[in-house]
Amino acid sequence: MATATEQWVLVEMVQALYEAPAYHLILEGILILWIIRLLFSKTYKLQERSDLTVKEKEELIEEWQPEPLVPPVPKDHPALNYNIVSGPPSHKIVVNGKECINFASFNFLGLLDNPRVKAAALASLKKYGVGTCGPRGFYGTFDVHLDLEDRLAKFMKTEEAIIYSYGFATIASAIPAYSKRGDIVFVDRAACFAIQKGLQASRSDIKLFKHNDMADLERLLKEQEIEDQKNPRKARVTRRFIVVEGLYMNTGTICPLPELVKLKYKYKARIFLEESLSFGVLGEHGRGVTEHYGINIDDIDLISANMENALASIGGFCCGRSFVIDHQRLSGQGYCFSASLPPLLAAAAIEALNIMEENPGIFAVLKEKCRQIHKALQGISGLKVVGESFSPAFHLQLEESTGSREQDVRLLQEIVDQCMNKNIALTQARYLEKEEKCLPPPSIRVVVTVEQTEEELVRAASTIKEVAQVVLL
Amino acid sequence: MCCHGLPVGGSPSSPGCFVPLIQKTGGLLLTAERGGRMNVGTAHSEVNPNTRVMNSRGIWLSYVLAIGLLHVVLLSIPFGMYIFLHTVKGTPFETPDQGKARLLTHWEQMDYGVQFTASRKFLTITPIVLYFLTSFYTKYDQIHFILNTVSLMSVLIPKLPQLHGVRIFGINKY
């Protein structure tokens, strides 16, 4: 900018151009050449480096042999031999034309066939029709959705809740909404497949700790703390999360929540608790693991559960503080980009919540039944019971594996088939074997519901014992 | 840098929204296609709109006008541009790419890291042209020369492709 003493006369400036110092003009010449170079340079991507020569590429193409479109599959693959269920999977289930007692469906509180729930769903069906035909942001929000979110928040005693229309998508959308690239998640090895997919979508650094081993988790947290002290600026922008399940689906064990909360405050990480199996099961009023241990629900940053187990509906929900849940309304991929829950299912869930609130006694009944069958199934030669005594979904694993997984699976399938012949419907726990991070050993998953009577439990236990003795001689 | 749109499926609104009427500058520059965008103000499938801001309709003209205006008022343009292009990192809105651009400056984010695109060339040439003009005004005075050259270099050097993602002495790394 010209100072007050100099004058802005064009003539003077042009004169100065002629008298300009040489270095200045040379620099300007270089800059003009630079401009010309820029204008003629091509655009290119930085990482575009192919380390293969054309000849090598040709060789690779020659060598490649296509795999068959349909790979050879053994005839006894479970996907080819499925059971056909006619009618609802309620207490008595009709499998392949035979009526069995259902020990396989996660109908913990027996609400699947409850007449009140069915009536509420029918009334809602008559009022709203079947589907919502839109995501929540695009005319897919109905009053029943807001109602259900309100009721769930009140039931769990949190500030807010958010509904997803598919149980698997709930935790798989919630994790990547908060944890991004560069963040660190400490997760249990026995986490279910939905959590694993959520972690994969989040692109964060995953650190697995041994199942329910708080010492291992503390070791990992300490290592991270040392790293953080070496690089405090990086640590300040890194978020840390701990993801655990209340009752693990793959093992039937409970997470040690009090120790986790202590670790959370010591190492400044946030806890995401997945309560699919423990919602409506544990605790005096069915509020889950936090009630079971008597922990303040505000200590847990996010609780996620699906409504497909105890609540006998479809979908899932997350609940927690308002500012945490509100973030998912724009960042939860399964919330923004999927059609919302059909109103009849939301109404069914509300009615199921009503029933849960009216009869808090069913949770104690369920616990007692779990304990009973757990005790009855101890001592079977060849099979061991894996899971807590109060867990309604536990596993029966082979005490000694035969060495190959297929052989184990075949043995267990034999047990399941023979039990089915004796009118006890059981199932094996199925996994996508190539996709699981830590594949659990093959097992039979037994589910206890409130509707099973004592005689039925005793009969089931003795049937399993007999069959196991025959098959696992 | 651009308004964070509300609901409809959650996609942020297009970056051209604040320059609706000005036509993009015609063939004033030799560079090829400038990706004229028809979907100003509508939903789009761009993962990180920050990369396309400098391509949107009218942005170049508004940039030149803003520089002209501020140039008359103060000489802080290179300093201001340096802050916005090479210091501030990340995006002012949530992106669906799980934070890929969290540690990248706006310059590094432009056009997803492709070097020598039209916008990048434009933004490199403009400070040089400004430098010529300023040298002319100040009649090639020595002190002004030093100051102007230093500020020009500080704006030109971070734009080199060799310095993509480079953080000297770890400054501004996280």
- Which string of DSSP letters, residue by residue, matches A416-430? HHHHHHTTEE-EEPP
CB B12 within 8 A of CB B4: yes
Nearest to B31 among A21, A39, A331 (CB): A39
The answer to whether A182 contacts chain B (CB < 8 Å) is: yes
Residue from A1, A7, A230 to probe the interface with B (highest B Cβ count within 10 Å):
A1
pLDDT higher for B12 or A192?
A192
Q: Name the residue with higher pLDDT: B56 or A384.
A: A384
**Which of A255, A278, A361, A250 shows the shortest CA–CA distance to A108?**
A278
A137 to B173: CB separation less than 8 angstroms, yes or no: no
> At A92, phi and psi to the nearest 5?
-105, 120
Give the CA diameter of chain A.
111
What residue ranges do the domains of chain A occupy?
80-109+360-472, 115-358
One digit per residue, pLDDT tens: chain B, 174 residues? 333 333 333 333 334 333 333 344 443 333 333 444 454 555 677 778 788 888 887 888 888 888 777 766 655 566 777 888 888 888 888 888 888 888 888 888 888 888 888 888 888 888 888 888 888 877 777 887 888 888 888 888 888 888 888 888 878 888
Residue-wise pLDDT for A139-183, tens only, equals: 999 999 999 999 999 999 999 999 999 999 999 999 999 999 999
Residues in chain A: 473
Q: What is the DSSP string of A260-275?
A: HHHHHHHHT-EEEEE-
For residue B164, list chain A residues with Cβ-Cβ distance below 8 A.
46
**Backbone CA torsion sign across A269, A272, A277, A279:** positive
Taking alpha carbons only, the member of A392, A368, A360 closest to residue A284 is A360
A337 phi/psi in degrees, rounded to 5: -115, 15
Q: A52 at the B interface (CB within 8 A)? A: no
**C-alpha distances in Å from residue B148, one per residue of A10, A312, A317, B142:** 20, 72, 59, 10
Q: Quick check: A13 contacting B, CB < 8 Å?
A: yes
**Range in A49-53, A269-273, A393-397, B113-117 the model is least confident about:** A49-53
Task: Say whether A43 and B128 touch across the interface (CB within 8 A).
Answer: no
Of the candidates A191, A362, A187, the one whose C-alpha atom is nearest the C-alpha of residue A282 is A362
Q: Are B139 and A16 in contact (CB under 8 A)?
A: yes
Output the CA–CA distances (angstroms, integers) from residue A369 to A47, A161, A373, A448, A462, in the order listed.
Answer: 61, 31, 6, 7, 15
Separation between Cα atoms, residue A460 and residue A330, nearest integer Å: 48
- pLDDT over 60 (residue A260): yes
Q: How many residue contacts between A and B have a Cβ separation below 8 Å? A: 100
In chain B, which residues touch A (CB < 8 A)? Answer: 7-10, 29-31, 75, 94, 96, 98-100, 102-103, 111, 113-117, 121, 124-125, 128, 131-132, 135-140, 142, 145, 149, 161, 164, 170, 173-174
Fold of A80-109+360-472: Aspartate Aminotransferase, domain 1 (3.90.1150)
Confidence check: pLDDT of A98 > 90: yes
Alpha-carbon span A412 to A418, nearest angstrom = 10
pLDDT grade for A121, boundaries at 50, 70 and 90: very high
Residue A139 with chain B: CB contacts under 8 Å: none
Burial call A127-149: b when 16+ CB within 10 Å, e when fewer: ebeeebeebbbbebbbebbeebb
CB–CB contact A45 B103 (8 Å): no
Least confident of A71-75, A403-407, A468-472: A71-75
User: In chain A, whose CA is at the least distance from the CA of B116?
Assistant: A43
Structure tokens at A311: 């609540």
> In the CATH hierarchy, which fold is given to the domain comprising A115-358?
Aspartate Aminotransferase; domain 2 (3.40.640)
Q: Tell me the shortest Cα–Cα distance from B63 to chain A, in angstroms.
A: 19
* φ, ψ of residue A271 in degrees (nearest 5): -105, 130
Q: In chain B, helix, strand, coil percent, each to 5?
A: 50, 0, 45
Q: What is the pLDDT of residue B60?
A: 83
Other Cβ atoms closer than 10 A to A43: 14
Of B10, B131, B174, the CB nearest to A137: B10
Give every strand in the sheet of A302-306, ordered side by side. Answer: A160-164, A316-320, A302-306, A270-274, A240-245, A184-188, A205-209
Please name the residue of chain A whose CA is at the shortest distance from the CA of residue B111: A45
Measured in angstroms, the CA of A229 and the nearest CA of chain B are apart by 15
In chain B, where are the structural domains located? 76-163
Q: Do B136 and A39 touch (CB under 8 A)?
A: no
Å between A333 CA and nearest CA of chain B? 9
Does the structure's ipTM exceed the value 0.90?
no
Most confident of A67-81, A365-379, B154-168: A365-379
> Is A18 part of the contact surface with chain B (CB cutoff 8 Å)?
no
- List CB contacts of B55: < 8 A, sequence separation 6 or more: B34, B35, B37, B111, B118, B119
| Interchain pair A182, B131: CB under 8 A | no
User: Is this model's pTM higher than 0.95 or not?
Assistant: no
d(CA A237, nearest CA chain B) in Å: 7
> Mean pLDDT across the stretch A269-298?
95
Exposure of B91 by Cβ count < 10 A (0-12 exposed, 13-18 middle, 19+ buried)? buried
Mean pLDDT of chain A: 92
Residue A470 structure tokens:
């025959």
CB-CB contact of A341 with A334 (8 Å): no
Average pLDDT for residues A334-344, to the nearest whole number?
Answer: 95
- The residue behind tokens 């929000």 is A141
Between CA B110 and CA B114 the distance in angstroms is 8
Q: Across chain B, which distance is largest between two alpha carbons, in Å?
A: 58
Whether residues A27 and B149 touch (CB distance < 8 A) is answered with: yes
Q: Does A203 touch chain B (CB under 8 A)?
A: yes
A340 inside 8 A of chain B by CB: no
Listing from the earlier edge strand, what are the strands of the sheet with A383-386?
A383-386, A393-398, A443-447, A427-428
CA A259 from chain center: how many Å?
Answer: 22
Mutant choice from A8, A32, A43, A44 vs B, greatest count of B C-beta within 10 A: A43
Residue to substitute from A5, A330, A337, A338, interface B, most B β-carbons within 10 A: A330
pLDDT of the residue at B171 = 82
Distance from CA of A14 to the nearest CA of B (A): 8
- Which chain B residue lies closest to A199 (C-alpha atoms)? B98
How large is the average pLDDT for residues A189-209? 96
Q: Return the closest-CA partner of residue A401 out of A373, A431, A440, A435.
A: A440
Chain A positions in Cβ-Cβ contact with residue B100 (cut-off 8 Å): 181
**Six-digit token string for B4:** 């964070």
Backbone angles phi, psi at A356, to 5 degrees: -60, -40
Q: Chain B: give the shortest CA distance to residue A304, in Å.
A: 20
Distance, in Å, from the CA atom of B15 to the CA atom of B119, rounded to the nearest integer, reads: 15
Q: How confident is the model at residue A230 (pLDDT cuts 50, 70, 90)?
A: very high
User: CA A396 to CA B104: how far, in whole Å?
Assistant: 51
d(CA A310, CA A112): 9
